[in-house]
């Protein structure tokens, strides 16, 4: 899944934000340009000199394979998508060019930020089941058909890697049939598999060779299990995720996986930092601001995190809002055996920081505070957030009953847990600074603290920008208002905000205590009261947010390194992929 934590909060609330400004049925040129301007064009460059010669050669093959994934995912979204792309690519008028540009951002003719409203005349409403089910077939009919299948057939029909097509064979027992991806997208998957095998021959890394070979096999066999396991074991400077993964595009059932690819170079400096943090997690737990009885004397192993820089993203991994972190695989069978892995795209986070957080800070911070905005602290706090999800109460006792915070706090849990990770992350970094553990990687003392808390203050506006409908934003509003009430965030006469450094550390500690105790006691009533009181947008925040409306929502990636490593060659564009419908 896409990581919903801090990492991508730039953008997950955009639907509610844009719902307030309904777009006209089909936008004209000016409107279309305005819509596209919400994505700030950003060049992504990655230093590939850290790779071996073999890996650099493999990288070119992998980028080519990812471009094939783009074609497959276009076909998955809508039957008419590939043909429409060809038509739009030929357009020469300014409007035609603007349509092609925005089509490519959205990977289709529907505007993702505008509740999937169409922006090209003559296209149908976005099909809820994308191109995974026969067009115009109702959910009820499909459900009924699935219910009557034999159990193993039903599993296939509801599986990640099949589409449902119309069976036109003479005398077929049903009008519908199950078609595996390996058949539906056979010709393109063969191309991609050949490129993965070529890359496997070029790299010297054993774990990468293994993953690429098994994934190439999976494209042909439609069995992804072994290659998912190999992906979990991947330990390579050239880092690859390629295949069918996310099910968000299947809004009918959420069964079908869209193809995507992320071709990355591992960031070894950040990976070392993570490893170092990992060594200190138990000692942070032992010092959490709650009484010892609530602390965990032996925290469990946390799921692995890899920090990478993205060279190229394709398919579902490069449409609309840019993914800044993802957690895969989604297949429960693999998760049970191997767990899951989180991949964080550092350069994408950096691009969003520059394009969105820096402009936000110019509006919400005092001029003096703006120079303390710092990407290293921003990113390290995200890492700390991810790691500290694993700290604090996880198994609790309520009235003699063994349970857990999620069970007790129910629908309120996510907001509390996200706030807990934010605040415990800050607590952890402060603890490490106080114990001289960050002297080399981040620095310590007054200057470092100024950067940490100022960056945190600015980034809270990035989260609050789209309202408090989402659990993450509710958690953020709770933090913000608590710190305001404690005088740790101060409102300036001109409407900007600043940190009071004499108060922030104590306030963070107290807030962490409150959040951890809500989880430790599983107190639903108190949590409900706290959220009702604090998870609101107060007028002072709203007037700051009003000034942010014209800032970009997200970035549009321009893959400079990818285009130089593997220059785009003109090839015959395919018009259609489907065989089953």
Contact 67, 247 (CB under 8 A): no
- Residue 264 sits at φ, ψ, to 5 deg, of -130, 160
11 Cα distance to chain centroid = 9
The minimum distance between CB 234 and Zn ion, in angstroms, equals: 23
Packing angle, helices 413-434 and 524-534, rounded to 10 = 80
Q: Which residues pair with 41 in a beta bridge?
A: 556
The minimum distance between CB 389 and Zn ion, in angstroms, equals: 6
The minimum distance between CB 6 and Zn ion, in angstroms, equals: 6
Q: Which residues bind Zn ion (CB under 5 A)?
A: 5, 421
Indicate the pairing of strand 39-44 with strand 258-266. Answer: unpaired
Q: Which residue is nearest to Zn ion (CB)?
A: 5
Which residue, 421 or 504, has its beta carbon nearer to Zn ion? 421
Contact 322, 554 (CB under 8 A): yes
Q: Which of 47, 67, 43 is nearest to 55 (CA)?
A: 47
The minimum distance between CB 567 and Zn ion, in angstroms, equals: 39
What does the alpha-carbon distance between residue 567 and residue 563 come to, in Å, rounded to a whole number? 5
Which residue, 61 or 465, has its beta carbon nearer to Zn ion? 465
Which residue, 8 or 421, has its beta carbon nearer to Zn ion? 421
Contact 419, 405 (CB under 8 A): no
How far is residue 264 from each of residues 62, 238, 333, 354, measured CA to CA in Å? 10, 6, 26, 20
Contact 553, 322 (CB under 8 A): no
Which residue, 5 or 258, has its beta carbon nearer to Zn ion? 5
Rg (alpha carbons) of the chain, rounded to whole number = 25
Q: Which residues pair with 238 in a beta bridge?
A: 265
How far is residue 209 from each of residues 50, 194, 223, 260, measured CA to CA in Å? 18, 13, 18, 20
Contact 44, 265 (CB under 8 A): no
The minimum distance between CB 5 and Zn ion, in angstroms, equals: 3
Which residue, 421 or 442, has its beta carbon nearer to Zn ion? 421
The minimum distance between CB 13 and Zn ion, in angstroms, equals: 15
The minimum distance between CB 312 and Zn ion, in angstroms, equals: 26
Which residue, 5 or 113, has its beta carbon nearer to Zn ion? 5
477 Cα distance to chain centroid = 21
The minimum distance between CB 392 and Zn ion, in angstroms, equals: 12
Which residue, 421 or 577, has its beta carbon nearer to Zn ion? 421
Which residue, 106 or 323, has its beta carbon nearer to Zn ion? 323
């Amino acid at each position: 899944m896409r990581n919903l934590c801090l990492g991508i909060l730039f953008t997950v609330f955009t639907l509610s934000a844009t719902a307030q400004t309904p777009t006209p049925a089909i936008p004209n040129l000016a409107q279309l340009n305005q819509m596209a301007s919400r994505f700030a064009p950003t060049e992504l460059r990655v230093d590939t000199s850290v790779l071996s010669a073999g890996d650099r050669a493999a990288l070119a093959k992998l980028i080519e394979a990812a471009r094939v994934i783009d074609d497959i995912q276009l076909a998955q979204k809508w039957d008419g998508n590939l043909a429409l792309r060809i038509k739009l690519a030929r357009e020469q008028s300014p409007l035609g060019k603007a349509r092609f540009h925005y089509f490519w951002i959205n990977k289709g003719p529907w505007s993702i930020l505008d509740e999937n409203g169409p922006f090209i005349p003559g296209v149908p409403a976005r099909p809820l089941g994308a191109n995974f089910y026969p067009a115009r077939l109702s959910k009820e009919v499909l459900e009924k058909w699935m219910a009557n299948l034999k159990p193993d057939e039903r599993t296939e029909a509801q599986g990640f890697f099949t589409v449902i097509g119309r069976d036109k064979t003479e005398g077929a027992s049903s009008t519908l049939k199950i078609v595996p991806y390996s058949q539906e997208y056979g010709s393109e998957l063969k191309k991609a598999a050949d490129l993965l095998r070529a890359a496997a021959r070029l790299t010297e890394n054993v774990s990468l060779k293994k993953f690429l070979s098994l994934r190439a096999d999976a494209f042909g066999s439609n069995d992804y299990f072994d290659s998912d396991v190999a992906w979990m074991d991947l330990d390579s400077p050239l880092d690859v995720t390629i295949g069918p993964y996310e099910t968000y595009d299947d809004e009918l059932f959420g069964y079908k996986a869209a193809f995507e690819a992320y071709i990355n170079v591992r960031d070894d400096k950040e990976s070392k930092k993570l490893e170092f943090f990992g060594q200190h997690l138990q000692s942070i737990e032992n010092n959490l601001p709650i009484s010892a009885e609530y602390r965990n004397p032996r925290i469990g192993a946390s799921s692995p995190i890899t920090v990478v820089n993205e060279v190229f993203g394709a398919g579902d991994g490069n449409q609309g809002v840019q993914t800044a972190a993802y957690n895969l695989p989604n297949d429960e069978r693999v998760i049970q055996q191997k767990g899951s892995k989180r991949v964080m795209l550092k350069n994408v986070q950096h691009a969003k920081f520059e394009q969105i957080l820096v402009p936000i800070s110019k509006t919400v911070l005092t001029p003096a505070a703006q120079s303390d905005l710092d990407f290293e602290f921003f990113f390290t706090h995200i890492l700390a957030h991810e790691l500290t999800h694993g700290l604090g109460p996880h198994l609790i006792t309520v009235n003699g009953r063994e349970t857990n915070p999620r069970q007790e706090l129910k629908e309120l849990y996510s907001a509390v847990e996200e706030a807990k990770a934010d605040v415990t992350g800050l607590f952890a970094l402060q603890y490490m600074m106080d114990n001289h553990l960050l002297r080399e990687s981040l620095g310590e003392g007054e200057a470092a603290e100024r950067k940490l808390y100022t960056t945190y203050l600015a980034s809270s506006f990035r989260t609050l920008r789209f309202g408090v409908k989402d659990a993450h934003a509710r958690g953020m509003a709770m933090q913000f208002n608590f710190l305001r009430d404690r005088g740790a965030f101060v409102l300036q006469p001109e409407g900007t905000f600043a940190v009071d450094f004499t108060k922030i550390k104590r306030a963070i500690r107290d807030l962490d205590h409150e959040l951890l105790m809500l989880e430790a006691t599983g107190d639903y009533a108190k949590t409900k009261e706290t959220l009702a009181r604090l998870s609101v947008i107060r007028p002072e925040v709203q007037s700051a947010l009003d000034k942010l409306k014209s800032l970009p929502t997200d970035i549009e990636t321009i893959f400079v390194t990818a285009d130089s490593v593997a220059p785009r060659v003109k090839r015959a564009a395919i018009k259609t992929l489907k065989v089953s419908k």
